[in-house]
Amino acid sequence: MKRRSILALCLVTALAAVVTTVTSGATQRQSASSITVWLQTDAQSGWPGVVAAANQQFQADHPGTTVNIQYQSWGDHLQKFDATLAGGGGPDVIEMGNTEMTKYMAAGAFADLTSYKSSFANSGSWLKGLAASGVFNGKLYGVPYYAGSRVVTYRTDLFKSAGINKLPNSTAAYVADSQKLLAKNKGKGFSPLYIAGTDWYVAMGFVFDYGGGIAQRVSGQWKGLLASPKSLAGLTAYKNFFTAVSRASKTTDEAHPNPYDVYAQGQAASMIGPSWFSCCVGKKYTGVTAQFVMPGHVTGTSMPGFLGGSDLAVPVTSSNKALGADWIKDFTSTASEKALQAKGNIPNATNLLGNSVNERAAARSWFVPTAKHWVDVENGNILRNMLAQILTGKLTVKQAAQSASDNIASVLNQP
């Protein structure tokens, strides 16, 4: 989801409301006639029973308090939320896309739920990439709801005709399989695995796979990590892997063209992206399309993936913060998460994951730094420019990484 700016008036309202603190639901009970919860229409159409069960449990714990569920659409929910922040009132609980969280956390729009963390089921094993999206300056503001993973979508017929009878269990094995695919498919521009050169979601997976990172907060300041030895190893591995498997432009992004368009045109044996990519492979290849987990460089491990998904937060303008946190507790209970899982969703914790491709892909995950100015890093194309420099050879891996790392630290440390 695209982040949207918050009006200055919202910030004033939020800061004024921050004096209302949140205390642990285990030690304090609030009473109110009702609370308002904003959920996306996905829940309304996909798992209304899960919502109803959570409401029933909440009302059993809080007799006389009703839950007013108001379903929102992704297209305009932020605009509506901004209006409630500016005018006061609004929901007591709100569902947010995980990439929407940072801007609002930085603006003080959500209540601090840190004291509640131990009361949320499975909080010790929340999916790493999803949990990170709800933390700002070390405090918890968003509780993981459910996730969406990135997987490899591939042509079963091409893999079979190339003599690949076992799916790759490491990046090295994937490279070896790619050579077989190239030998059987000699058409110009054919990619065994289509990766856009500057697709930093794929590239950063390699960085995290080798133990590196993008940036971390140290003593109140952001420090770039891309030039660390582990990050350099990951970037070097990405360069070598891209060169071996992809025939895409080294300077293109993942939307020009979309990987699934290349796939649907018969120009790729596989592609990396959200699991929903399978919807867009073209009628000709629907019957010969399947998915598997992108392997890491260590045999038998998965590549850490960037998770999509949703978090649940309590707006700072709520007058029922403790009740809002209690409702989130019921809606993200183990029973609720298993019910979501039964509907085809990825639950919010590693100990709840099943054996589906999407769930196995979510086991290792990462997220961008939750910094106020991260959006400026993205808008400035710092990571994309670094990858283009590396793949084209304009700079060495170390030179490009050091420049990007310094730029990221400079941007993130802006006041």
pLDDT tens digits, one per residue of 217-248: 999 999 999 999 999 999 999 999 999 999 99
Q: Which pLDDT belongs to residue 26?
A: 32
Structure tokens at 123: 């909080």
The answer, yes or no, to whether the previous bond of 257 is cis (omega within 30 of 0) is yes
Residue 188 to residue 265: CA distance in whole angstroms:
13
Q: pLDDT band for position 31 (50/70/90)?
A: low
- Is a pLDDT exceeding 70 seen at residue 29? no
**Residue in the structure block whose two tokens are 């629907």:** 286
Contacts by 75-83, CB closer than 8 A, 24 or more apart: 77/38, 77/40, 78/1, 78/4, 79/4, 81/38, 81/315, 82/4, 82/6, 82/7, 82/10
Q: What is the DSSP annotation of 244-270?
A: HH--S-TT--TTTT-HHHHHHTT-BSE
pLDDT tens digits, one per residue of 386-405: 999 999 999 999 999 999 99
Average pLDDT over residues 247-268: 97
- Is a pLDDT exceeding 70 seen at residue 321? yes
Listed in order, strand segments (DSSP E) in 110-245 are 135-136, 139-140, 143-148, 150-155, 215-218, 221-224
Q: pLDDT band for position 8 (50/70/90)?
A: very low
- Is a pLDDT exceeding 80 seen at residue 77? yes
Percent of the chain with pLDDT over 70: 93
Q: Which pLDDT belongs to residue 15?
A: 36
The residue length of the chain stands at 415
Q: pLDDT band for position 27 (50/70/90)?
A: very low
Q: Which pLDDT belongs to residue 273?
A: 97
- Is a pLDDT exceeding 60 seen at residue 186? yes
Residue 159 to residue 379: CA distance in whole angstroms:
38
Q: Which pLDDT belongs to residue 180?
A: 98
Residues contacting residue 205 through CB under 8 Å, at least 6 positions apart: 150, 294, 303, 304, 305, 306, 366
Q: Which pLDDT belongs to residue 89?
A: 81
DSSP category for residue 368: -
* Residue 189 half-sphere exposure toward CB, CA atoms < 13 A: 8
- Is a pLDDT exceeding 70 seen at residue 133? yes
Which stretch of DSSP H or E encloses residue 331? helix 321-331
pTM value?
A: 0.91
Contact (CB, 8 A) for 270 and 193: yes
- Is a pLDDT exceeding 70 seen at residue 144? yes
Indicate the SS3 state at residue 133: helix
Q: Which of 42, 64, 43 is nearest to 54 (CA)?
A: 43
Q: Which pLDDT belongs to residue 217?
A: 95
Average pLDDT over residues 46-64: 97
